[in-house]
Amino acid sequence: MKVLVVDDDEFFRKVYASKLKAEGFEVSTASNGEEALKSVSEEKPDLILLDLIMPQKDGFEVLEDMGKDPDLKKIPVVIFSTLEQKEDVDRAMELGAADYINKSDVNLDDLKSKLSKLLKGG
């Protein structure tokens, strides 16, 4: 199962990529929305962990662009952000996000469980 981790914070990207790899996921990373869209088009990951606040294109713009492509909009996107205001969560879900996780409050077991459930179509 291939997961794309998109976050402009290098430390966060490396830590979660490493943790997910240790759990058996194939992981690639992107540091901004432009890189994410390029990677999604080329690699077709099974799932995307997407931060919202990033340079060049933010997570909302990534969701908007993916929603315009019939193949890309089928890929489950989990918003992985510290933004948790209801408006942000609602907007992300309206743009096609499959789930929303506050990255400052999540533990690896919960994350792995959510990813596995989404990857199995649940």
Per residue in 65-121, pLDDT (tens digit) is 999 999 999 999 999 998 878 999 999 999 999 999 888 887 778 888 888 888 776
Give the rounded distance of the alpha carbon of 21 from its chain centre.
15
In which domain, by residue range, is 109 found? Answer: 2-119
Q: What is the CATH number of the domain that holds 38?
A: 3.40.50.2300
Q: Give me 61's structure tokens.
A: 């713009």
Burial of 73 (0-12, 13-18, 19+ CB in 10 A): middle
Q: In what order do the strands lie in the sheet with 47-50?
A: 26-30, 2-6, 47-50, 77-81, 99-102
**pTM assigned to the model:** 0.92
Looking from the CA of 16 toward its CB, the CA atoms found within 13 Å total 28
Number of independent structural domains in the chain: 1
Residues 79-92: pLDDT tens digits? 999 887 899 999 99
Q: How far is CA 122 from CA 98, 109, 114, 115, 118, in A?
A: 10, 17, 9, 10, 5
